[in-house]
């Protein structure tokens, strides 16, 4: 990977919590990944892999190493946490409580850098990942308070303009299968609901910096 591209990734993540590569994964490699979605789910719509499971799968090793190398170039302290093969359907939103829903603007209580790869084409009706593109460091103090379950700060997320889709600009990330989205979960974001009968399939690699882990 060229140095200038790595610099762009770092700057994009630091300033707006988001980086996009529209043609990261070649479409002929996507077909080899689809059988993993048929494995036993660890939770509704999710097949989860840890590092050991990945390294036992020849189909996954090259892709995993590519993502891991990218993360190391962004921040040498980032460590792999988990991989999800995730399927989202028109009915997925019904399985979440309102305040814990990934379909509402939020930040994560643990700070991750996540790499998401679309394995289906994603238009406005197919549940695009949606980001505010606000500076992620603006929300570090809030994240700590939310993690402590402080009710005042938990309520903050519901009422401040940064989390209000009518007062702040959120951009849905539309793209073809193979698109890579890297984002800092400190930036307000959400998954748009699926309005069509076409499910959205993604790979999601979660990495975290142990300096930011809250216990």
Question: Is residue 212 predicted with pLDDT exceeding 80?
Answer: yes
Burial class (CB in 10 A: 0-12, 13-18, 19+), 89: middle
- Within 10 angstroms of residue 86's Cβ, the number of other Cβ atoms is 22
| pLDDT mean over 2-28 | 83
- Tell me the C-alpha distance between 19 and 12, whole Å: 6
pLDDT band at 58 (very low <50, low <70, confident <90, very high): very high
| pLDDT mean over 144-156 | 76
Between residues 183 and 156, the one the model is more confident about: 183
pLDDT band at 93 (very low <50, low <70, confident <90, very high): low
DSSP secondary structure of 126-176: B--EEE----GGGGHHHHHHHHTT-HHHHHHHHHSGGG-TTTS--EE--B-
Q: What is the pLDDT of residues 23-44, one digit of tens each?
A: 999 988 999 999 999 999 999 8
Of 18, 10, 12, 208, the closest CA to residue 129 belongs to: 18
Burial class (CB in 10 A: 0-12, 13-18, 19+), 80: middle
Between residues 9 and 81, the one the model is more confident about: 81
pLDDT band at 174 (very low <50, low <70, confident <90, very high): very high
Average pLDDT over the chain reads 89
pLDDT band at 158 (very low <50, low <70, confident <90, very high): low
State residue 48 phi and psi, 5-degree precision. -105, 140
Write down the CATH number for the domain with range 3-208: 2.60.120.620
- What tokens were used for 160? 């401040």
Domain layout of the chain by residue ranges: 3-208
- Tell me the C-alpha distance between 125 and 13, whole Å: 26
Q: What is the pLDDT of residues 102-148, one digit of tens each?
A: 888 999 989 999 999 999 999 999 999 999 999 999 999 889 888 88
Instruction: Give the pLDDT of residue 3.
Output: 46
List the 18-21 sheet strands across, edge first.
18-21, 180-184, 112-118, 200-209, 78-88, 46-49
Least-confidence region, from 10-14, 92-96, 105-109, 144-148 = 92-96
Question: Which helix or strand (DSSP H or E) is residue 58 part of?
Answer: helix 58-74
Instruction: Give the pLDDT of residue 10.
Output: 87
What's the pTM value of the predicted model, to 2 decimals? 0.91
- Tell me the C-alpha distance between 198 and 89, whole Å: 7
């Amino acid at each position: 990977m060229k140095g200038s591209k790595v610099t762009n990734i770092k700057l994009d993540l630091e300033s707006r919590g988001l980086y996009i590569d529209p043609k990261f994964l070649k479409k002929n490699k996507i077909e080899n990944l689809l059988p993993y979605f048929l494995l036993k789910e660890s939770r509704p719509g999710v097949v989860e892999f840890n590092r050991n499971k990945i390294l036992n799968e020849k189909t996954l090793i090259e892709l995993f190493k590519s993502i891991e190398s990218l993360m190391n170039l962004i921040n040498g302290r980032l460590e792999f946490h988990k991989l999800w093969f995730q399927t989202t359907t028109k009915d997925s939103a019904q399985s979440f409580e309102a305040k814990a829903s990934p379909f509402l603007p939020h930040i994560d209580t643990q700070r991750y850098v996540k790499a998401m790869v679309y394995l289906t084409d994603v238009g406005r009706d197919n549940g695009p990942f949606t980001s505010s593109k606000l500076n992620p460091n603006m929300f570090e103090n809030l994240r700590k308070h939310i993690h402590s379950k402080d009710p005042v700060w938990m309520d903050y997320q519901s009422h401040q303009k940064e989390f209000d889709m009518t007062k702040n600009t959120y951009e849905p990330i539309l793209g073809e299968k193979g698109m890579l989205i890297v984002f800092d979960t400190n930036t307000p974001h959400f998954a748009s609901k699926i309005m069509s009968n076409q499910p959205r399939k993604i790979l999601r690699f979660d990495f975290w910096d142990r300096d930011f882990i809250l216990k």
